[in-house]
Amino acid sequence: MSDSTNNPEKDESLHESIPVTGMYKDWFLDYASYVILERAVPAIEDGLKPVQRRILHAMKEMDDGRFNKVANIIGQSMQYHPHGDASIGDAIVNLGQKDLLIETQGNWGDIRTGDSAAAARYIEARLSKFALEVVFNAQTTEWQLSYDGRKREPITLPVKFPLLLAQGVEGIAVGLSTKILPHNFCELIAGSIAILNGEKTNVLPDFPTGGLADFSEYNEGLRGSRVKVRARIEEEDSKTLLVKDIPFGTTTNSIIDSIIKANDKGKIKIKKVVDNTAKDVEIQIQLAPGQSPDMTIDALYAFTDCEVSISPNACVIIKDKPVFLTVNEILEYNTKQTRALLKRELEIRKAELMEKLLFSSLEKIFIENRIYRDIEECTTWESVIETIDRGLDPFKPEFYREITTEDIVRLTEIKIKRISKFDTFKADELMRKLQEELKEVNYNLKHLTEYAIKYYENLLTKYGKGRERKTEIRAFDTIEATVVAANNAKLYVNRVDGFVGYGLKKDEFVCDCSDLDDIIVIRRDGKCVVTRIQEKGFVGKDILHVAVFRKGDERMVYNLIYLDGGTGRAMVKRFQVLAVTRDREYELTKGSKGSKVMYLTANANGEAETVTVYLTQGAKARVKVFDFDFASIEIKGRGAGGNILTKYPVRKIQLKMEGVSTLGGLDIYYDSVIGRLNTDERGKLIGNFLGDDKIIVFYKNGEYELTSFELTNRYDGNNVSLIEKFDPQKVISVIYYDGATKTHFVKRFLIETSTMNKKFNVISDHKNSVLKVVSTEKQPQVKALLKKGKEEEEQEYDLDMLIDVKGWKAIGNKLSSHEVVSLTLIDDKPKEDVKTSDKDPKNTSDKSEDDENLEIGSTVELKVKKEEEDKDQLGLF
Catalytic residues: 122
- Count other C-beta atoms under 10 Å from residue 638's C-beta: 20
DSSP state of 446: H
Query: DSSP H helical segments within 222-326, as ranges?
Result: 252-264, 293-303
CA angle in degrees (0–180, nearest 5) for 470-471-472? 115
Task: Give 316-352 as a DSSP string.
Answer: EEETTEEEE--HHHHHHHHHHHHHHHHHHHHHHHHHH
| Pair 477, 297: CB distance under 8 Å | no
Query: In 695-729, which positions are buried (b, 16+ CB within 10 angstroms) versus exposed (e)?
Result: bbbbbbbbbbbbbebeebbbbebeeebbbbbbeee
Q: Is the dihedral of CA 682, 685, 690, 696 positive or negative?
A: negative
Report the run of H or E that residue 513 belongs to, with start and end.
Answer: strand 508-513
Collapsing DSSP states into helix, strand and coil, what is residue 697?
strand
What whole-number distance in Å separates Cα of residue 689 and Cα of residue 182? 45
Residue among 368, 349, 377 nearest 414 (CA): 368
Q: How far is CA 633 from CA 210, 359, 413, 614, 866, in A?
A: 56, 106, 114, 20, 20
| Pair 615, 651: CB distance under 8 Å | yes
| Pair 79, 150: CB distance under 8 Å | yes
From first CA to last CA, the distance across the chain in angstroms is: 81
| Pair 828, 781: CB distance under 8 Å | yes
User: CA-based Rg of the chain, rounded to a whole angstrom?
Assistant: 41
Residue among 39, 47, 42 nearest 87 (CA): 39
Backbone angles phi, psi at 481, to 5 degrees: -60, -35
Q: How far is CA 505 from CA 50, 266, 311, 535, 543, in A?
A: 64, 18, 44, 10, 17
Torsion angle (degrees, nearest 10) of CA 585, 591, 597, 599: -100
Amino acid at 777: E
Report the run of H or E that residue 433 belongs to, with start and end.
Answer: helix 424-446
| Pair 240, 284: CB distance under 8 Å | yes
- Count other C-beta atoms under 10 Å from residue 827's C-beta: 11
Backbone angles phi, psi at 786, to 5 degrees: -105, 145
DSSP state of 437: H
Backbone angles phi, psi at 257, to 5 degrees: -60, -40
Residue among 492, 537, 483 nearest 511 (CA): 492
Residues sharing a CB contact under 8 Å with residue 676, sequence separation 6 or more, in sequence order: 477, 670, 711, 713, 714, 715
Backbone angles phi, psi at 301, to 5 degrees: -70, -35
Collapsing DSSP states into helix, strand and coil, what is residue 40?
helix
What whole-number distance in Å separates Cα of residue 480 and Cα of residue 486? 12
Q: How far is CA 619 from CA 176, 426, 609, 612, in A?
A: 82, 131, 25, 16
Task: Give 367-426 as a DSSP string.
Answer: HHTTHHHHTTT--SHHHHHHHHHHHHGGGGGGSSSPPPHHHHHHHHT--HHHHHT--HHH
